[in-house]
Amino acid sequence: MYQFWRKSGFVIAGGTIQGLGMGLFLFPHSIPSGGAGGISVLLNHFLLINMGLALWIVNFSMLMLAMKYLGNRSVIWTMVAITVTSLSIGFFQHIIPTPIGNVWIDVVVGSVFLGTGIGLLLREGVSNGGVGVIALIIAKYRHVYPGKPLFWMNGFIFILTASIISWEIIIQALLSQWISTKMVDAIYSINFHSVYTLSWRKK
């Protein structure tokens, strides 16, 4: 029971923090938060699908891969993470005023939040949806941190999206991915159990 509530806390925290970075800092500048965001932009461009619906389609289309390679339990947790993230984006965008600030500052701050949220999810074996599923599969079977494959896959999608939509966002998007994937690896490598145990013993 303890493990369930512990994992629930990390998944909810990860989804919320990820949604904070997207909703308050990246999306107001139309900067895609990842490969799923880039694919969603393309779906919106070619098929005129609403961005929110397009993002949902991309995220849930990856669940079949997660079910095959990561197990049914991972799919359920991924659904929870995607739902929490979507609700958080809606909350932060529509409840909290989001005046557009300096794009470079927002890219850095938003990417730190984004990477922290994704890192919390991936270290619990939970994908944040989209190509994060593929990154988690690669990390599991090749025994590497998921940040690098996530960066290269997202980078390819960004270049494809920028070549079709606009080249103006490519630098911000790639910078965002570099910062967020560094945060992913940093969070992924932290041993929270040891940190908690050390803090508890000091008390």
pLDDT under 50 in the chain at which residues? 194-203
Position 8 scores a pLDDT of: 93
pTM of the model: 0.76
Exposed e or buried b for every residue in 15-51, given b needs 16+ CB within 10 A? bbbbbbbbbbbbbbbbbbbbbbbbbbbbbbeeeebee
